[in-house]
Amino acid sequence: MHASTTASPRWYPLRQIGRSIGRAICRAVLRRIACALLLGATLSPTFAGDIVIGQVAPLSGVLASTGRDMVLGARVYFDHVNAGGGIHGAQIRHVVLDDGYKVDETVRATETLIDKHQAVALIGFAGTANVGEVLKRGILEQRGVALVAPYTGGESLRGKQNRNIFHIRAGYADEAEHMVDHLVTLGVTRIAVFHQNDGFGEAGRKGVDDALARRNLKIAAVATYERNTEDVSSAVDTIRKADAGAVIMVSVNRSTAAFTKAFRNAGGTAQLLNISVVDAGELVKLSGAAAMHGLGISQVMPFPYSEALPVTREFKRLFAKHADSNAAISYTNFEEFIGAKVLVEALRRAGPNPGPEKVLRALETLSNYDVGGFSVSFSPSNRIGSRYVEVTVIGRKGNLLR
């Protein structure tokens, strides 16, 4: 069985370069090897006949915990498939590259996966701006490669012209509509927005703006923070002065944890909600259960901790078998597990020795494909596989409640 592969840099003869450069390279190499070991990966080369699936993920930087969970979820299912003989006798080679949540690195890594590693499909990138730049440069379109289950709900990525991306999650506009409807139903009409200052944050803010406009309401206040930072002090002041009844956040784990804790410590009493890209367990680790208690999180996947659905029962069983003993189930790794299931079904339908075009066309045939109580539906004219949304809340003990 071939396990996932996290590509690592070459070793360099350190005696031929300066001591400071040598130390920097050593640190970089060690970080990459650590990522590989963490993910249960090997550093072996691709074998002839393998089906290469590429993944770019933020294994370093502010989104590192999310990136690790994304890779883990896909790997659990790929390992299960390989243990059962693979697909048409071929093993899946899951090649992972770290982009650190940096747009330029996402572009570079995507080209490497396709051109060097000969990936027949891609899975689970993170970031609206990151995926948006890959699209802008025409990398997927020019090479005819499909990207399945990107970890973003940006509406700019979901247009009919973006035919190489297959979404299994609802968009940020869907999430915003659900949260605004929930709040307005409860009588909360002064709603502020806290968001990351980039394409990801703007996509979420626009979703809230549009949802409020449909109810003849306007955003009470907007506050932002810069990408890859946790500097939220001015945002806290802006939101508090607005006297909003609720704040919808469009932010990642670290900034969400920082804002929530600072806002509560400053006496903020508004209801706080965030979109689905954050993980409750990570938020509690970062700022504690007391600070996170009551935070609402919209979700675009079924509750993964339940035994109610066949797919959640399957996920739990395979997670226990293939994940490290210290790994924890999350919405993030469950989402990419489902993404891997969808992609594997397309690989089966594509037949032996599938190329990128065959995989893409096979994905188009997945109409109302049931992964086990949760359906994903694509067609030649539709790339939005699901619009499922529900809201969960972090409980007093830090656990996630429906």
Name the packing angle between helices 356-363 and 331-350 (round to 10°).
110
Which of the four pLDDT bands, split at 50, 70 and 90, describes residue 47?
Answer: low
pLDDT at 231 (0 to 100):
93
pLDDT at 42 (0 to 100):
38
Write the pLDDT tens digit of every residue in 276-290. Answer: 999 899 999 999 999
Q: Is residue 10 pLDDT above 60, yes or no?
A: no
Write the pLDDT tens digit of every residue in 226-272. Answer: 988 999 999 999 999 999 999 999 999 999 999 999 999 999 999 99
Helix, strand or coil, per DSSP, at residue 269? coil
pLDDT at 228 (0 to 100):
87
DSSP 15: G
Q: Is residue 35 pLDDT above 80, yes or no?
A: no
The per-residue pLDDT of the chain, averaged, comes to 89
CA 27 to chain centre: 27
User: Backbone phi, then psi, for 124, in 5-degree steps?
Assistant: 60, 45
CA 40 to chain centre: 19
Q: Is residue 185 pLDDT above 50, yes or no?
A: yes
pLDDT at 370 (0 to 100):
98
What is the average per-residue pLDDT within 101-108?
97
Write the pLDDT tens digit of every residue in 213-225. Answer: 999 999 999 999 9
* Residues 6 or more apart in contact with residue 245 via CB below 8 angstroms: 183, 188, 189, 190, 191, 270, 271
Residue among 139, 134, 53, 80 nearest 354 (CA): 53
Write the pLDDT tens digit of every residue in 69-99. Answer: 999 999 999 999 999 999 999 999 999 999 9
Residue bearing the bigger pLDDT, 227 or 335: 335
Which of the four pLDDT bands, split at 50, 70 and 90, describes residue 26?
Answer: very low
Domains of the chain: 5-171+310-376 (3.40.50.2300), 172-299 (3.40.50.2300)
CB 174 within 8 A of CB 294: no
Residue among 382, 384, 352, 62 nearest 228 (CA): 62
Percent of the chain's residues with pLDDT above 90: 84
Please tell me the distance from the alpha carbon of residue 371 to that of residue 132, in angstroms, as a whole number. Answer: 28
Burial profile 214-244: b = 16 or more Cβ within 10 angstroms, e = fewer: eeeeebbbbbbbebbebebeebbeebbebeb
Q: Is residue 34 pLDDT above 50, yes or no?
A: no
pLDDT at 161 (0 to 100):
85
